Chain A
């Protein structure tokens, strides 16, 4: 069996692990644009911040991983086209790779809206890959004398701000939305996080956008101006689905996949940020570009490709992050009755609908948050647990003794 995987991120890695859990002998070829071994993309801000090292970033898996897993990796190589009927993949080098089963894990690409004068800005970058991060570090230099303007107050823009604050003279963040983290948090917790980030010196301009650029000056729609030396474009990302669309796969923003991670084209699978999978709430395809999803889908695809059984349909939006020491964990949707608790150090919002916990936000104190995540993911009926108890604090005491025996006593084994 010949397997080809396009892409080199979390979904690709997990796909290899899925294949190898069943087929130890098949040929696996991986084609990745990046030249680095597997690394965690979300680490790039932590690298600039000094919370990890280049050596550790590149050691997501042991150095001999590809050798021990029988992976032939073509790094620094790109796929130009997929011929689904001939079962071949064309490479930029001109080579044709035959496949029996193909997995597309092409991830997301940063989206850069057209902006007047952007081409005049010399030092600009997106903040998505390790090379982006290293490039940004080089632009900032050692002098701590560069003024940085970040477009986008989402997770990427804000983690970037945190990562480079100690390397820059100043950091300004501009977003069209009226609050920070608009896709992750409602108003009140967003304001708490914003205050924490501002306390360390980051300046926000919200509900505004850049009308036009001069080489070192941004003119805002509101009439204001922000001078800068380095520009970071973190407006958002889009699924990288063009290759799949050209190959005939159904694409609705992302590559539409089944719970078995199959695309609409036989023998072509897809996993990770480039995909759209049915949302259990609405039944419609939804892009869920988060790390755990990529890992679950990659493994599912890999197992299926190797002829095994696997399915994944429990994708839930979730994020774990933090800014300047303020931790944040959230999951699910915020469409439900809000149960709020606040202390001076912590904010907690639980969202309840139809006897289920549909989502939650924890800020500050995130201890044992995964117990809430599991209620969201497993759609646990709240009437089957002691909800008043678990509402106070995440705990296993809220489950029945039988359920605890299963969880802690291995009674299901």
Chain B
């Protein structure tokens, strides 16, 4: 199945993926309404140091440790993607304990949030990828 992959050598460290992610999951109609004067909590995060930078988001593992660790059933696998039902999440963060990529984080509501490949929002395919100016993140089969 298609997943988001990182081409580290092309990452400019521009953080646009983070802004596109925050916008895609904001429910707002425009990027300005979604982001202006706001602290953003994106589900993709750039790590950067010296001249190296790269984006980290959920790997949608075939055997995800986060799903196995979830005590509430909030995390599940649907069509190969790891999805969250935030109404079931109690915020115990067992998934944060388990994920070797550090790809899940706490949402503003205090429950878990993670990349769902934009399957639940109106964009239908990862907006971070569409917004990346240098093909440092791609959505493809590998």
Q: Which range holds the interface residue count of chain B?
A: 35 or more
Given contacts A329-B93, A371-B101, contact A410 B5 (CB under 8 A): yes
Q: Which residues of B contact A40 (CB under 8 A)?
A: 70-73
In the complex, per-residue mask of B39-68: 1 if CB is within 8 Å of any chain A CB, else 0 = 000000001110010111001000001001
Q: B88 contacts A373, CB within 8 Å?
A: no
Closest approach, in angstroms, between the C-beta of A374 and any C-beta of chain B? 4
Closest to B9 in A: A401
| Interface of chain A: mostly helix, strand, loop or mixed | helix
Q: Does B97 contact A (CB under 8 A)?
A: yes
Q: A257-294, CB under 8 A of B: which get 1 and which 0?
A: 00000000000000000000000000000000001100
**From B3, B93, B94, B104, contact of A291 by CB (8 A):** B94
Residue of B47, B59, B96, B105 near A395 (CB, 8 A) is B47
A409 interfacial by beta-carbon distance below 8 Å? yes
The answer to the question of A408 belonging to the interface, with a C-beta cut-off of 8 Å to chain B, is: yes
A128 vs B128: C-alpha distance when bound (angstroms): 44
Known: A401-B8, A410-B142. A368 touches B96 (CB 8 A): yes
Most chain A CB within 10 A, of B5, B47, B96, B142, is at B96
Known: A320-B93, A371-B101, A410-B142. A43 touches B71 (CB 8 A): yes
Asked if A331 contacts B97 (CB within 8 A), the reply is yes
Q: Is the CB of B88 within 8 A of A404?
A: no
Contact B72 A370 (CB under 8 A): no
Residue from the list B8, B73, B88, B102 in contact with A368, Cβ < 8 A: B102
Q: Assess whether A182 is interfacial by the CB under 8 Å rule.
A: no
0/1 string, A301-332, CB within 8 A of B gives 1: 00000000000000000111110000101010
Q: Which residue of B lies closest to A41 (CB)?
A: B71
Are B97 and A318 closer than 8 Å at their CB atoms? yes
Looking at the assembled complex, report how far the CB atom of A58 sits from the nearest CB atom of chain B, in whole angstroms.
10
Q: Please, which residues of chain A bring their CB within 8 A of the CB of B56?
A: 396, 408
**Within 8 Å CB of B30, what residues of A?**
none
Bound Cα distance from A409 to B70, whole angstroms: 26
Evaluate contact between B72 and A408: CB separation under 8 angstroms.
no
B6 at the interface (CB under 8 A from A): yes
Contact at A408–B100, with CB atoms within 8 Å? no
B contacts, CB < 8 Å to A:
3, 5-8, 47-49, 52, 54-56, 59, 65, 68-73, 87-88, 90-102, 104-106, 142
7 chain-A/chain-B pairs, Cβ below 8 angstroms: A43-B90, A51-B90, A51-B91, A291-B69, A368-B99, A368-B105, A408-B55
| Known A56-B73, A56-B88; 18 more pairs at CB < 8 Å | A41-B71, A291-B69, A292-B68, A292-B69, A299-B68, A318-B97, A329-B93, A367-B106, A369-B97, A370-B98, A370-B104, A397-B52, A407-B100, A408-B55, A409-B7, A410-B5, A410-B59, A413-B142
